[in-house]
């Protein structure tokens, strides 16, 4: 039975490859169908990977079961082994008589027609209505988390879309000391997770795990070099400079607790009694004591301080958000345009747009089939015994209009390959059409504007020969013109020379 499983795996791999080829050859027009196709291909690729792993384990034959089965078939009576396995198959089906048989050809074949529309697509429940099948971001949850952060700027959703990956203090981001909270850690982690999930949903055929791993490697290298702009090591920067922050002028006073400069000593003294300064001083003292304890404990263990590990975790998520946002810059700009457009719409227009977005392909197919059925019924009921031409609505034109335009009169054209034009109007128009012009060019005629109302080939050839003969007669050969030279050495034609001589101008 192990050989049968091996054969089944080979067949499954071939069916999977054929299913992928059938889907790649088709290019759907709607983004929903394209995403569904890509997700199906991604599922097939995952199944190919898993089935190939099983097949490799069988070929490696770690426990020797495959070799034993081959030996049993080759050494003994082959029919005896065959009937033994046949007995096992019959026993299984007698025990499970209603067990369905898996049809691989039908399972991997692309579903088309009414059967495909009756089943929900794989992407129908994957995206929210705001995302519109992966065309736009849906960061409303992250926006609410950002607004609930302490000391966060009150940004609108449109402003948030422009600055959600800008973590610099004052430009939508928080200060470094304000980021070391569990609430901010949860927010930036949720933002990175939402962007990564959106990338996986919209690009199922890309190796997103490799992309994220490359981002992590890039961050690790920058962190080791202390090259992350917002998260440089404060201790190393102070040691490198040798001094702390100095005031810009002699009268100015710098507050280390608040990291803020004051114009003079009086303003600084008034600031010391404020709530912000007291709170900032307490936080700095607490952080300093914690850092000292962590540094002492971790120095003995040869590791980094605990507060630095927390900074690294937050910085890593911020770095990932920046890279993911830059990788999906097109979706980000489209989201901004879509939000601006929706802000100018009424509630009724928004609801109508959502209904149009979620309208299934089944309804479209049913409508299309109904229209085709109605057209077919109309065509069956058409009565046209005189074989009159059809109008724009698919019905015969009136007989009086047929007689008025002379559509019963035939006008053949030999140059067009003896094509027959019905009516004078169609005959007059055909002289400027491609069929007649191509026929003249095949006869060697280049100037087609002079051959109107000429339909016979011999007439066109005679006219073209006469036109060419007249051109040759009127053409003057420059080499046969007699050149004359006056006393000053000016060269001119003979006729001009004698005309000037008669006038006494030479």
| pLDDT tens string 329-344 | 899 998 988 888 888 8
Q: Report the distance separating Cα 473 and Cα 49, nearest Å.
A: 82
The yes-or-no verdict on residue 243 having pLDDT over 60 is no
| pLDDT tens string 392-445 | 677 788 877 777 778 888 889 999 988 888 888 888 888 888 889 888 888 888
Q: In terms of domains, do 144 and 113 share one?
A: no
Q: How confident is the model at residue 364 (pLDDT cuts 50, 70, 90)?
A: very low
Sign of CA dihedral 323, 328, 330, 335: negative
Contact predicate 440/449, CB 8 Å: no
Is 504 a domain residue?
no
Name the percent of the chain in helix, strand, coil, to the closest 5: 65, 5, 30
The yes-or-no verdict on residue 486 having pLDDT over 80 is yes
Q: In 3D, which of 166, 98, 500 has the Cα closest to residue 332?
A: 166
Q: In terms of domains, do 333 and 232 share one?
A: yes
Q: In terms of domains, do 76 and 149 share one?
A: no
Contact predicate 407/427, CB 8 Å: no
Q: In terms of domains, do 108 and 173 share one?
A: no
Q: Report the distance separating Cα 145 and Cα 193, nearest Å.
A: 14
Q: In terms of domains, do 181 and 297 share one?
A: yes
Of 8-12, 28-32, 167-171, 188-192, the poorest mean pLDDT is in: 167-171
Q: Which residue has the higher pLDDT, 483 or 287?
A: 483
Percent of the chain with pLDDT over 70: 81
Q: In 3D, which of 326, 325, 339 has the Cα closest to residue 136?
A: 339
| pLDDT tens string 127-149 | 887 888 888 899 999 999 999 98
Mean pLDDT (the chain) is 79
Q: In terms of domains, do 48 and 110 share one?
A: yes
Is 60 a domain residue?
yes
Q: Report the distance separating Cα 2 and Cα 55, nearest Å.
A: 11
Q: In terms of domains, do 110 and 20 share one?
A: yes
Is 361 a domain residue?
no
Q: In terms of domains, do 302 and 208 share one?
A: yes
SS3 assignment, position 194:
helix
Q: In 3D, which of 178, 170, 246 has the Cα closest to residue 255?
A: 246
The yes-or-no verdict on residue 224 having pLDDT over 80 is yes
Q: Which domain holds residue 287?
A: 140-240+247-344
Is 434 a domain residue?
yes
pLDDT at 192: 93
Give bridge partners of residue 261 from the DSSP assignment. Answer: 254
Q: Which residue has the higher pLDDT, 137 or 271?
A: 137
Contact predicate 157/143, CB 8 Å: yes
Q: How confident is the model at residue 210 (pLDDT cuts 50, 70, 90)?
A: very high
Q: Report the distance separating Cα 415 and Cα 165, nearest Å.
A: 70
Q: Report the distance separating Cα 230 and Cα 233, nearest Å.
A: 9
Contact predicate 327/199, CB 8 Å: yes
Q: In 3D, which of 467, 462, 458, 465 has the Cα closest to residue 415?
A: 458
| The total number of structural domains that make up the chain | 3
Is 303 a domain residue?
yes
Report residue 306: phi and psi, to 5°: -65, -40
Residues in the chain, overall count: 506
Q: In terms of domains, do 93 and 232 share one?
A: no
174-182 mean pLDDT: 82
Q: In terms of domains, do 169 and 280 share one?
A: yes
The yes-or-no verdict on residue 31 having pLDDT over 90 is no
Contact predicate 196/212, CB 8 Å: yes
Is 179 a domain residue?
yes
Q: In terms of domains, do 208 and 268 share one?
A: yes
């Amino acid at each position: 039975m192990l050989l049968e499983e091996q054969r089944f795996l080979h067949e499954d791999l071939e069916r999977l490859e054929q299913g992928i080829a059938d889907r790649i050859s088709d290019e759907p027009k709607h983004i929903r169908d394209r995403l569904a196709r890509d997700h199906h291909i991604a599922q097939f690729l995952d199944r190919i990977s898993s089935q190939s792993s099983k097949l490799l384990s069988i070929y490696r034959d770690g426990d020797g079961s495959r070799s034993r089965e081959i030996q049993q078939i080759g050494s003994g009576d082959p029919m005896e082994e065959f009937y033994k396995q046949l007995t096992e198959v019959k026993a299984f089906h007698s025990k499970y008589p209603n067990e369905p048989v898996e049809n691989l050809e039908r399972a991997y074949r692309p579903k088309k027609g009414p059967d495909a529309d009756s089943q929900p697509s794989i992407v129908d429940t994957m995206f929210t209505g705001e995302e519109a099948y992966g065309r736009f971001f849906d960061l409303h949850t992250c926006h609410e988390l950002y607004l609930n952060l302490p000391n966060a700027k009150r940004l609108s959703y449109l402003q948030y879309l422009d600055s959600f990956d800008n973590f610099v203090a004052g430009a939508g981001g928080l200060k470094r000391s304000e980021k070391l909270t569990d609430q901010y850690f949860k927010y930036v982690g949720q933002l990175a997770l939402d962007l990564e999930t959106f990338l996986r949903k919209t690009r199922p055929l890309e190796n997103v795990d490799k992309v994220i791993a490359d981002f992590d490697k890039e961050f690790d290298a920058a962190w080791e070099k202390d090259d992350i702009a917002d998260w440089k090591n404060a201790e190393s920067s102070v040691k490198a400079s040798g001094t702390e922050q100095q005031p810009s002028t002699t009268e100015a006073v710098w507050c280390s607790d608040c990291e803020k400069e004051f114009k003079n000593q009086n303003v600084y003294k008034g600031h010391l009694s404020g709530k912000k300064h007291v709170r900032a001083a307490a936080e700095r003292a607490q952080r300093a004591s914690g850092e000292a304890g962590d540094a002492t404990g971790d120095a003995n263990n040869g590791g980094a301080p605990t507060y630095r590990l927390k900074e690294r975790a937050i910085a890593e998520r911020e770095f990932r958000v920046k890279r993911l946002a830059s990788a999906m810059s097109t979706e980000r700009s489209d989201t901004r345009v879509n939000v601006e457009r929706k802000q100018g719409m009424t509630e009724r227009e928004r609801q109508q747009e959502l209904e149009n977005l979620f309208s299934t392909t089944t309804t479209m197919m049913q409508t299309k089939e109904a229209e085709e059925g109605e057209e077919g019924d109309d065509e069956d009921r058409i009565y046209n015994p005189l074989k009159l031409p059809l109008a724009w609505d698919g019905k015969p034109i009136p007989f009086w209009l047929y007689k008025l335009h002379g559509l019963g009169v035939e006008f053949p054209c030999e140059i067009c390959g003896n094509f027959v034009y019905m009516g004078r109007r169609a005959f007059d128009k055909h002289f400027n059409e491609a069929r007649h012009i191509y026929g003249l060019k095949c006869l060697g005629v280049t100037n087609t504007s002079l051959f109107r109302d000429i339909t016979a080939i011999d007439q066109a050839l005679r006219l073209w020969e006469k036109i060419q003969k007249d051109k040759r007669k009127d053409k003057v050969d420059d080499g046969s013109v007699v050149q004359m030279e006056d006393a000053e050495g000016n060269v001119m034609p003979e006729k001009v020379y004698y005309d000037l001589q008669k006038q006494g101008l030479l």
